Copies of this chain bind each other. A is one copy, B any other.
Amino acid sequence: MSQTNEPREPWLAELIGEAADKRMTDKQIRILEASVELFAGKGYASASTSEIAAMAGVAEGTIFRHYKTKKELLLTIVRPAMIKLLAPFMLKEFKDVLSSSYSSYGDFLRALAANRIQFLDRNKRLVRILIQELPFHPELQQQFREHVFSRVIAQAEAIVIRFQQQGEIIPLPPATVLRLSASSLLGYAAARYIAQESASTKWNDERELSATIDFIVKGLRP
């Protein structure tokens, strides 16, 4: 009864393996996969190490051979995922948008949204863990602020300022413009997530995305 299931989180092994700069055994990878599954499914506090070991098909001691504590197991997953996966992805288009391309703020938002949604779809479990555990782990909050939040804000503000100078966006504080744009897009993403979770047939994705972007662009027009 040897289980050789394909990995549910393709990013995991590669990401953490290259971070540690040494190869991982099959069992180590299965421990991380089981952890992601259980942390996302029932929360870090409610997921026991014995459960993780059982799901990974591994003795409980094996977990602690590689990770000193349960919390270190969580951090081993979340920290590199945040720094090496989430942060670079969030900053993706931001670099080149300043130099060229994207004639309008709407075009920019559309390109941005498409990629971000794809990312969320592929990394649901990771995002769930992040959202659920961030309030309880100050180290994670600090790293999130430092490596994700502040960098994204800095880049995004520059873009907002550019479109403000072009006269396409009201001269509000860039942080305010960002908040309004981001909350609308996050609201779209959340509604999309809930709609597909409850298998609601009423969700017309393209229409909702268009409406959201039009809403933002119109709402920010001078």
Contacts and interface: CB of A to CB of B under 8 A. Distances in A.
Interface of A: 42-43, 45-46, 128, 132, 135-136, 172, 175-176, 179-180, 182-184, 186-188, 190-191, 202, 207-208, 211-212, 214-216, 218-221
A136 B43 contact: yes
A42 B136 contact: yes
A218 B46 CA distance: 45
B183 A179 contact: no
A172 B209 CA distance: 13
A63 B135 CA distance: 27
Nearest to A208: B176
A211 B180 contact: yes
Interface centre among A132, A180, A214 (most CB of B within 10 A): A180
A136 B46 contact: yes
A202 B42 CA distance: 37
One complex includes copies of this chain to the number of 2
A212 B180 contact: yes
25 contacts: A43-B43, A43-B45, A43-B136, A45-B46, A46-B136, A128-B135, A132-B132, A132-B135, A172-B211, A175-B202, A176-B207, A176-B211, A179-B187, A179-B188, A179-B208, A180-B187, A183-B186, A183-B187, A184-B184, A186-B187, A214-B219, A215-B219, A215-B220, A218-B219, A218-B221
Given A42-B136, A132-B135, A218-B218, A180 B184 contact: yes
Nearest to A190: B183
Contacts of A172: 211
Nearest to A214: B219
A41 to B, nearest CB: 9
Contacts of A43: 43, 45, 136
A17 to B, nearest CB: 30
Contact of A183 (B45, B175, B188, B218): B188
